[in-house]
Structure 1
Amino acid sequence: MSTTAALPFDLTAGSIQLTQDLCDEASVSGGEAHLVDRLVATLEGFEHLELIRHGNTLTARTNLGRAQRVIIAGHVDTVPINNNLPVQRVEIDGIDHLVGRGTVDMKAGVAVQVLLAAELIEPAVDITWMWYDNEEVSSDLNGLRLLAEARPDLFVGDFAILGEPTRSEVEGGCNGTVRIEVRTRGKRAHSARAWVGENAIHAAAPILAALAAYEPQQIEVEGLVYREGLNAVGITGGIAGNVIPDECMVHINYRFAPNKSADEAIAHLEELFGQWDITVVDRAEGARPGLDAPLAKRFLEALNVPALPKYGWTDVARFSALGIPAVNYGPGDPLRAHADDERVDVAEITACERGLRAWLGGKTR
């Protein structure tokens, strides 16, 4: 199935070494093809797996006739490299780490998934494994979204797990996100005769004041408390050093709890900033925790870990929108994601593998 000659990854070395190997095969968004070639070469000999490649998204699924099916997914792309490959295995503060791009977000999780996909020949449930491209860039390129549009039949399941970094704890659902541009208008004039014009940047002061004074809510949804956030993430205005600007734009990001829809979040922003010109430039629904689903309950019981909220947006929202309860579960501290010193505690890789192996290999119904 691979389109170019590609060497398989060595699965016999275990999930920690596989994490290092996956990371060292650089796959910045848009450059995932060879890594996916190697994943195909790694898994195409396993008869219990049906492989389906769509672009640079690879699906591997069992078809054992089990009563329930679980979807387990992870993205294979990373943000750009900044002198942080190849991966180094080092001890930091007495803890064994893998340091390098992708170790947290999220090739450690993918490594665990690929290893288990190969080894779990008779899981207690049927499993659909999905490894997709372009998660770190624009949503219109997201491999999971494109696969759902092209092959909705693959998105049939009773429960989904996304291997985003959670320190090998369970984080349910996710916040939604809306980004807006708020514009103030003025009148251009020479800065030496400023009284002739109207300064649009000065007119943005009330917007910034409202943002600085805003107190984000903490909202409980199905037993988990989600912390919202409303922040300016950019501001532009002015055309020259001697011209009074006639336009200023404040770029605002609202992270909202999954008790409300994106439409409701936008309505809230309109209440706050409706006296100015508003343009919605991005919106993504959140996802409710889904922890009341029977398989989710069994999953938490098997892992014996508490459920926490996911503050950032993740692709669990795509599963939730399809009616599939979904959680985030993977090794790595999300605070380390995208950092130049990105690093994962190897004990978390082992814990994630142990948890998934025990749950998928045991009784889940």
Structure 2
Amino acid sequence: MDDKVAAPHMIAVDEKIRALLPDAISLLRRLVNTNSINPLFPGIRREDVIGGESACGAMLSDFLAGHNFVSETVAVDPERSNRIIRKKGTGGGRSIFINGHVDTVAPFRVSEWLGGNPWSGEVRDGRVNGLGSTDMKGGLIAAALALAALDAASIRLKGEVQFHAVVGEEVMSHELGTTAVLEAGFGGEAAIVVEPTSQPRPLSIATVSAGNFNLQLDVKGYGTHSGNRGPSIRAGGEGNAAGVNAVEKAILVVQALQQLEQEWGITKSHPAFPAGIFSMVPGVFHGDAGVPSVGYLAESATIGYLVWYPPNEGPEAVKAEIERHVHHAAQLDSWLRQNPPRFRWESHWPVFDTPADHPLVKLLVADRADVLGEIPAGLPQTHSFNAVCDASFIAAKGIPVVAMGPGDLRCAHAVNEYVDLAEIASCARILARTIVGWCGAA
């Protein structure tokens, strides 16, 4: 469509977005009210949360059913349904789909959340507060609002548009969610994932992500009575024969990886990413003698890491670098030299990297500028996604994909998560323009 045709269409769509916004906010609050913690999330009992994901998908489907969209389900796990909400085009246009996940992480410090609990959905100061509001029920609502407004404004698209509300993203269960939907035959010629991208500015266009690994490091000790600590570490004692505390040996491994991480701050970079993002995060540490008592020297210890690496480096090379560094550090310790740490690379989240000159990217950049104003000359028009998302698995199927959605990653997975309502409305306006520009208007 040329600008002369597009402008009146978009004025009508913007009016419908404003008119539908109260209903969309009400739906967002109901989504946040719904506990949809991923049932595979560590520490969660399936029976306590199962059904929440499917319920959220059904709410989105019901909302768009009133705007001439049809809904289908894909469920590898029968109790965890993905919703595919779609409208066929009139023909002659390109197809597109919007992707977003309905599952959330588990909350912590539950008593400190606004509204008295993580699922309050309380509206305060122009924000909806609650677990999943930013990550990523706000994005789901922005997509639903854009699609509803297009229908309400009587915009008929040439190409098909689909909306995938998927399960499983928070624990990389893409084979139950995004990948399952694509392999069931749904999809399109391009995709937008409505993850929160409001860094470095609201509704940034994110074309590239880092990769990451879930790494578990197991460190062996020699568990004995805690009274043997003296002869195990003091001059004149028996040394390792008296006992070895796996916790302390694991700390040596942590310190070695902290040293490597400092080196990464210099050696690993990418023009799309802020300095220092490529890192190794020790998020879990556990050690004991097989019983949770301080009366022993720990028999074993485990450290759980999330490793972030740049998209311009191969994952196998990154793994080899980490293992090589830990091996060298272990040679400096008499116990670890003979009992090296064991590496368990439990999962790998690959990168996505869509060229900045791809037509989808250029269209989104122009549409964002139309809604929010031009980014000053000389500043980047696109940015990195400083986390991981299902865009990686969409890209793995050969589909060009970009992330753009409301919310700030700095409050995701945190106490008092929130999303700004103004960002949801602006995101819906951008999405509506891009859908029309990509699919074509009949």
Structure 1 length as normaliser, TM-score?
0.85
Asked if 1:57 corresponds to 2:90, the answer is no
Deviation at 1:288, TM superposition (A): 1.6
More helix by share: 2
Deviation at 1:109, TM superposition (A): 1.1
Structure 2 length as normaliser, TM-score?
0.71
* CA spacing shift, 1:173–1:124, aligned 2, 3 Å: farther
* CA spacing shift, 1:331–1:198, aligned 2, 3 Å: same
Question: Sequence identity, in percent?
Answer: 24
Residues in 2 aligned to 1:174 and 1:165: alpha-carbon distance in whole angstroms: 13
Q: Is the contact between residue 124 and residue 362 of structure 1 (CA under 8 Å) also seen in structure 2? A: no
Asked if 1:357 corresponds to 2:440, the answer is no
Residues 252-310 of structure 1 deviation map (CA, whole Å, 9 limit, x = unaligned):
22111112343233222222224532121221111124433222222112212531111
Question: 1:328 — aligned with what?
Answer: 403
Q: Is the contact between residue 22 and residue 111 of structure 1 (CA under 8 Å) also seen in structure 2? A: no
Question: 1:38 — aligned with what?
Answer: 59
Asked if 1:147 corresponds to 2:147, the answer is no
Asked if 1:16 corresponds to 2:16, the answer is no
Q: Is the contact between residue 173 and residue 316 of structure 1 (CA under 8 Å) also seen in structure 2? A: no
Deviation at 1:63, TM superposition (A): 2.4
Aligned residue type for 1:355:
I
Residues in 2 aligned to 1:347 and 1:232: alpha-carbon distance in whole angstroms: 36
Aligned residue type for 1:232:
P
Question: 1:183 — aligned with what?
Answer: 218
Question: 2:285 — aligned with what?
Answer: 235
Aligned residue type for 1:57:
N
Q: Is the contact between residue 287 and residue 320 of structure 1 (CA under 8 Å) also seen in structure 2? A: yes
Deviation at 1:162, TM superposition (A): 0.6
Cα-Cα RMSD: 2.6
Task: Indicate the SS of the match to 2:269.
Answer: strand
* CA spacing shift, 1:212–1:131, aligned 2, 3 Å: same
Task: Indicate the SS of the match to 1:32.
Answer: helix
Which of 252, 257, 260 pairs up with 2:305? 252
Q: Is the contact between residue 179 and residue 394 of structure 2 (CA under 8 Å) also seen in structure 1? A: no
Deviation at 1:16, TM superposition (A): 3.4
Q: Is the contact between residue 66 and residue 126 of structure 1 (CA under 8 Å) also seen in structure 2? A: no
Deviation at 1:131, TM superposition (A): 0.7
Question: 1:90 — aligned with what?
Answer: 124
Deviation at 1:14, TM superposition (A): 4.6
Deviation at 1:125, TM superposition (A): 4.2
* CA spacing shift, 1:125–1:265, aligned 2, 3 Å: farther
Residues in 1 aligned to 2:314 and 2:396: alpha-carbon distance in whole angstroms: 11
* CA spacing shift, 1:13–1:203, aligned 2, 3 Å: closer
* CA spacing shift, 1:58–1:79, aligned 2, 3 Å: same
The runs of at least 4 consecutive aligned structure 1 residues that moved more than 4 Å come to 223-226
Question: 1:286 — aligned with what?
Answer: 351
Residues in 2 aligned to 1:126 and 1:58: alpha-carbon distance in whole angstroms: 16
Task: Indicate the SS of the match to 1:204.
Answer: helix
Residues in 2 aligned to 1:174 and 1:258: alpha-carbon distance in whole angstroms: 7
Task: Indicate the SS of the match to 1:120.
Answer: helix
Asked if 1:107 corresponds to 2:153, the answer is no
* CA spacing shift, 1:66–1:105, aligned 2, 3 Å: farther
Q: Is the contact between residue 27 and residue 76 of structure 1 (CA under 8 Å) also seen in structure 2? A: yes
Residues in 2 aligned to 1:351 and 1:283: alpha-carbon distance in whole angstroms: 34
Q: Counterparts in 2 of 1:167-316, with a 5 A limit? A: 167=198, 168-194=203-229, 195=232, 196-213=242-259, 214-215=261-262, 216-217=264-265, 218-220=268-270, 223=272, 227-239=277-289, 240-274=293-327, 276=340, 277-304=342-369, 306-316=381-391
Question: 1:5 — aligned with what?
Answer: none
Aligned length: 347
Deviation at 1:160, TM superposition (A): 1.3
Structure 1: gaps of 5 or more residues: 1-9
Q: Is the contact between residue 178 and residue 265 of structure 1 (CA under 8 Å) also seen in structure 2? A: no
Task: Indicate the SS of the match to 2:217.
Answer: strand
Which one has the largest radius of gyration? 2
Aligned residue type for 1:285:
P
Residues in 2 aligned to 1:12 and 1:309: alpha-carbon distance in whole angstroms: 29
Task: Indicate the SS of the match to 1:173.
Answer: strand
* CA spacing shift, 1:26–1:179, aligned 2, 3 Å: closer
Q: Is the contact between residue 16 and residue 350 of structure 1 (CA under 8 Å) also seen in structure 2? A: no
Residues 302-343 of structure 1 deviation map (CA, whole Å, 9 limit, x = unaligned):
212531111211111011111112121111111111323111
Residues in 2 aligned to 1:307 and 1:342: alpha-carbon distance in whole angstroms: 25
Structure 2: gaps of 5 or more residues: 1-18, 39-49, 76-80, 111-116, 233-241, 331-339, 370-374, 376-380
Deviation at 1:348, TM superposition (A): 0.9
